[in-house]
């Protein structure tokens, strides 16, 4: 247990995603926050009264930085610096030293792991891009939908007036193509329909997807599950989650089917609990991680960075909306979806925070 003094003094630091240390004049550690416990692989009690030099290979460098921060009475920041954890693992961090004038504490150091920073920056970029894309497409879909109705109606009227049967072939082309476009526009507008939130069990979602996939692709498919059945329920829109997972799983099977010399087609659903995970600039105490893994040929390198963009497809007949919709639905649950792919193993990971601030809006039936 942390002493009460520290609890109140560092209350705001307990939930930070960055790792915080507070030390006295002699570099003796007086407090570390939970993120620091995880990053440096030791508990608060183990860290207490240790010297911070424990984590540095060149402590003189650190002392010098501290001197500079104090001389200027402002923060000192260092990018890409290597430190050691308690278990002697080397990690690349950036750190900021901030002097504080308090009796018990002399300065605070904030560490953040570099690859984590890069990942957060990438996610943030993707998130902003996705919001912009989604807005653009929604406006476009609205603009296209209305004149499309007019076009279709006019073609129908024209068809009735046509005396010569062979000419109807042309009006039929207009009507069919208008219907195809209409379908596409409807799909683009789906993510903006109001969600229905209720208590949701991830395994019910997965079992539903499993039966849909098995009925759609009965051929030679080995669909295995490895569930952590202790995972709690969370508030979510069941139908949208089913659609998201279905889009991902369907892509996997379609990719495996494309291989000419089809061997065994393996699709695997794995669920696990995640703790203290950071994404969308927030730390989530507990989350569900769902991995959907296929043994297909993998995603084309040129496509990999773009697959979540709408209308991006590697297939002749693909509309390129499946993954963009899936990402939209997962983001509505404050979650995240990511992908890694090598030939023989393509993994989509979906992370859904348990405490996602969503409110139940569907009455119990």
List contacts with ligand ATP (CB under 6 A).
247, 251-252, 255, 294, 296, 299, 303, 307, 312-315, 318-324, 346
The one of Mg ion, ligand ATP, none whose footprint includes residue 313, by CB under 5 to 8 A per kind, is: ligand ATP
Q: For ligand ATP, which is the closer residue by CB, 145 or 187? A: 187
User: Residue 34, interface with Mg ion (CB under 5 A)?
Assistant: no
Q: Which is nearer to ligand ATP, 279 or 348 (CB)?
A: 348
Residue closer to ligand ATP (CB basis): 189 or 312: 312
Report strand pairing: 345-353 vs 336-342.
Answer: antiparallel
Report the site for Mg ion in 146-175 (rule: CB under 5 A).
Answer: none
Q: Tell me which stretch binds Mg ion (CB under 5 A): 70-78, 79-87, 227-235, 320-328.
A: 320-328
Shortest spacing between CB 123 and ligand ATP, in angstroms: 18
Cα 214 to Cα 84: distance, rounded to the nearest angstrom = 49
Task: Tell me if 324 contacts Mg ion by CB under 5 A.
Answer: no
Phi, psi of 162 (to 5 degrees): -70, 125
312-318 LR contacts (CB < 8 Å, sep 24+)? 315/254
315 binds, among Mg ion, ligand ATP, none (CB under 5 to 8 A by kind): ligand ATP
Site for Mg ion in 180-219 (CB under 5 A): none
Give the position of tokens 């995640």.
274
Minimum CB separation of residue 271 from ligand ATP in Å reads 18
Q: Which stretch binds Mg ion (CB under 5 A): 64-72, 227-235, 316-324, 354-362?
A: 316-324
Residue 54 binds what, of Mg ion, ligand ATP, none (CB under 5 to 8 Å, by partner type)? none
Least spacing, CB of residue 305 vs ligand ATP, in Å: 11
Angstrom distances, CA of residue 334 to CA of 219, 235, 237, 250, 330? 35, 11, 12, 23, 7
Considering the complex, state which of residue 135 and residue 258 has its C-beta at the smaller distance from ligand ATP. 258
Taking phi over 0 as left and psi of -120 to 50 as alpha, with beta for the rest, 6 belongs to alpha
**d(Cα 237, Cα 229) in Å, to the nearest integer?**
20
Closest distance to ligand ATP from the beta carbon of 288 (Å): 21
Nearer to ligand ATP, 296 or 335 (CB): 296
3-state class (DSSP) for residue 272: strand
Residues 260 and 226 sit within 8 Å (Cβ to Cβ): no
DSSP H or E run through 123? helix 114-161
Rg (CA), the chain: 27
Nearer to Mg ion (CB atom), residue 322 or residue 353? 322
The reply to whether 251 sits near Mg ion by the rule CB under 5 A is yes
Q: Specify whether the CB–CB gap between 81 and 112 falls below 8 A.
A: no
Closer CB to ligand ATP, residue 272 or residue 347? 347
In whole angstroms, the minimum distance from the beta carbon of 325 to ligand ATP comes to: 8
Query: What are the CA-CA distances from residue 75 to residues 65, 99, 109 (Å)?
Result: 10, 7, 9
- C-alpha pair distances (Å), 71 with each of 24, 101, 111, 198: 17, 13, 21, 56
Report the alpha-carbon distance of residue 203 to residue 329 in Å, rounded: 17
Q: Which is nearer to ligand ATP, 235 or 270 (CB)?
A: 270
Give the one residue of 34, 296, 310, 322 binding Mg ion; rule: CB under 5 A: 322
The residue ranges that bind Mg ion (CB under 5 A) are: 251, 322
């Amino acid at each position: 247990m942390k002493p009460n003094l520290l609890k109140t003094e560092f209350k705001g630091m307990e939930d930070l995603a960055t790792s915080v240390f507070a030390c006295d004049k002699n570099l003796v550690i007086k407090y570390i926050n939970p993120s620091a416990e995880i990053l440096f692989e030791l508990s608060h009690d183990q860290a207490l009264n240790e010297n911070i030099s424990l984590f540095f290979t060149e402590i003189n460098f650190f002392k010098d930085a501290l001197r500079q921060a104090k001389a200027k009475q402002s923060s000192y920041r260092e990018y890409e610096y290597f430190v050691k954890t308690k278990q002697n693992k080397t990690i690349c961090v950036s750190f900021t030293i901030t002097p504080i004038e308090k009796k018990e504490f002399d300065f605070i150091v904030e560490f953040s792991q570099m690859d984590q920073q890069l990942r957060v920056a990438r996610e943030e970029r993707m998130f902003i891009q996705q919001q912009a894309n989604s807005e653009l497409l929604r406006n476009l879909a609205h603009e296209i939908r209305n004149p499309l109705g007019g076009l279709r109606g006019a073609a129908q009227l024209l068809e009735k007036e046509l005396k010569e049967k062979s000419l109807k072939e042309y009006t039929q082309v207009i009507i069919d193509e208008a219907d195809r476009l209409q379908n596409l526009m409807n799909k683009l507008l789906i993510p903006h329909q109001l969600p229905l939130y209720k208590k949701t069990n991830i395994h019910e979602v997965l079992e539903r997807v499993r039966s849909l996939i098995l009925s759609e692709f009965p051929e030679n498919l080995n669909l295995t599950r490895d569930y952590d059945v202790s995972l709690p329920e969370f508030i979510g829109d069941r139908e949208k989650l089913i659609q998201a997972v279905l889009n991902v799983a369907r892509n996997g099977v379609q990719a495996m089917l494309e291989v000419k010399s089809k061997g065994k087609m393996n699709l695997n659903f794995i669920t696990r609990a995640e703790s203290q995970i950071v994404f969308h600039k927030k730390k989530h105490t507990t989350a569900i991680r769902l991995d959907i893994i296929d043994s297909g040929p993998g995603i084309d390198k040129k496509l990999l960075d773009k697959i979540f963009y709408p209308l991006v497809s590697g297939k002749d007949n693909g509309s390129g909306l499946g993954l963009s919709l899936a990402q939209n639905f997962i983001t509505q649950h404050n979650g995240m979806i990511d992908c890694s792919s090598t030939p023989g193993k393509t993994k989509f990971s979906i992370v859904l925070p348990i405490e996602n601030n969503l409110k139940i809006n569907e009455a119990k039936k």
